[in-house]
Amino acid sequence: MLFNSLTFLVFFAVVFPVYLLLRGWGARKTFLLLASYVFYAAWNPAYVFILAFSTGLDWWLARRLGREEAPGRRKLLLVVSLVANLGLLGFFKYGDFALHNMQALLGLVGVAYAPPAWDIVLPVGISFYTFASLSYTIDVYRREIRGDASLRDYALFVAFFPHLVAGPIVRARALLPQLATPRLITPDQVAYGLVLVLIGLFCKDVFADRLFAPVVDAVYAAPGSAGTVAALAAFFGFAGQIYFDFGGYSLCAIGLAMVFGFAFPDNFHFPYGARGLSDFWRRWHMSLSTWLRDYLYIPLGGNRGGEWRTCRNLMLTMLLGGLWHGASWTFVVWGGLHGLYLIAERVLRRHAPPIGGILGDVLVTTTTFILVCVAWVAFRAPSFGSALEMFGAMGRWEVGTPVQWLALMAALGMFGWHWRMRDRTLDDLLAASSEGARAAVAAVCIIGIFLAAGGDQRAFIYFQF
């Protein structure tokens, strides 16, 4: 069930009024849990059992962890959670990838191996709800939170439909306390949340799907026949497409949660205006980057233990972060590039004199954006050969079409907007606007969404992860 679908509109039109009509907080939570499972079952009812199994296991393990005092047994309980969750994720997401790589390795030594057809469909959202659930057992193991949540509250934390399939990766420590007490819903809060949903859908339907996606898809489908303008439009355009697609989804999730009385963390903060690569990761997919920092980078040693170990930890974190995105070596390369960027930035900051003033800001911000776009080529390209062809196409001059020029100018305009807004937030901008201005924004979004409707309905990009 997509947020940008008529089915979801009907779902929300039924669920929200019923939620308001229910009196008791317990009844409201039970209803939200059932609605969330219906929302998930709309893709594939069978995969509801995987979600329920993962939820029930981690809830039981966390309760045991909360009561257990013996260090060895506590560690064993945590290992069971890690193996079960990562095992499910590995089987569904990386099974086919592992089989084909085994086939390639055996072929190198002269062994012919034909792997069976892998007809298992990846459960939607498994990467996201796995990480959300693991945050609970790990935090309970660290004694940072208690492991005494009720099964209903914990199941709702994992399955709450706004964040279930593509984040933000909301942690137990952030959402479980909100579930413990009744949420106050005000008309202003509902109105503000709906404005965020409309802005998110506008970003997805108008910018990501109608402006950028046709140009990007056409060039990446045949990069060998593209020229300079087309290649540049796709090069910068995919940066726009993935930002407006995923950022739009995150705004929808945050707005929907707000409508029901819950607060979700921000997931994007004008990332293309970043002053360096480390700043980019403080602004891009923030719920994932902080998850990787707290549960992978710091446990590996973080920046403790010397320069070499810090660089190693950065690279391992980014490689695994790249692999999390998909079962392909192109995603690993994407993560590796960002690892190299972060290491190089760290070395330069330690040994090279800083460039101050406006010139330094222009140089650092522009270089950061270009390097991020270079890495996006590996992320988007279906193969390494296609990625190399993309860069080769930039040297074949051609005039380009109006649509390609529009996408290119729009992507560069987005870069300028992020630069201008990087020290502010969307909340600041909306809060400083009058009610009339916010109503005008909502009206423009509705009109844009209506005009963009009628074509192919595209799932959000991160649904496949």
Q: Is 398 a domain residue?
A: yes
- Burial of 184: CB neighbours in 10 Å, binned 0-12, 13-18, 19+: exposed
Domain around 361: 188-464
Please say which residue of 120, 150, 182 terminates a domain: 182
| C-alpha separations of 342 from 51, 124, 336, 338, 349 in Å | 35, 31, 10, 6, 11
What whole-number distance in Å separates Cα of residue 108 and Cα of residue 118?
Answer: 22
Q: Write down the H helix ranges in 126-171.
A: 126-141, 151-159, 161-164
The reply to whether 195 falls in a domain is yes
Residue 325 appears among annotated catalytic residues: yes
Domain-embedded: residue 9? no
State the CB neighbour count (10 A cutoff) for residue 322: 24
Q: Where among 182, 207, 241 does a domain terminate?
A: 182
Among the candidates 182, 197, 221, a domain finishes at 182
Both tokens assigned to 312: 């190693």
Report how many domains make up the chain. 2
Outline where 260-306 has alpha helix (H). Answer: 277-281, 286-292, 298-300
Task: Give the contacts of 95 (CB within 8 A, at least 6 positions apart).
Answer: 118, 120
Give me Rg for the CA atoms of the chain.
23
State whether 166 and 247 are in the same domain: no
**Tokens standing for residue 20:** 């308001």
Task: Return the structure tokens found at 214.
Answer: 């046709």
Residue 133 resides in a domain: yes
Cis omega (within 30 of 0) on the bond before 168?
yes
61 and 210 co-located in one domain: no
Per-position pLDDT tens, the chain of length 465: 788 888 899 999 999 999 999 999 999 999 999 999 999 999 889 899 999 999 999 999 999 999 989 999 999 999 999 999 999 999 888 888 888 888 888 888 888 878 777 777 788 889 999 999 999 999 999 999 999 999 999 999 999 999 998 879 999 999 999 999 999 999 999 999 999 999 999 999 999 999 999 999 999 999 988 999 999 999 999 999 999 999 999 999 999 999 999 999 999 999 999 999 999 999 999 999 999 999 999 999 998 888 899 999 999 999 999 999 888 999 999 999 999 999 999 999 888 777 778 898 999 999 999 999 999 999 999 999 999 999 999 988 888 899 999 999 999 999 999 999 999 998 888 888 888 888 899 999 999 998 887 655 677 776 666
Give the active site residue among 163, 285, 325, 418.
325
Residue 8 inside a domain? The answer is no
What are the residues whose beta carbons fall under 8 Å from the beta carbon of 129, sequence distance 6 or more? 51, 54, 158, 159, 164
pTM score above 0.75: yes
- Evaluate whether 245 touches 211 at the Cβ level (below 8 Å): no
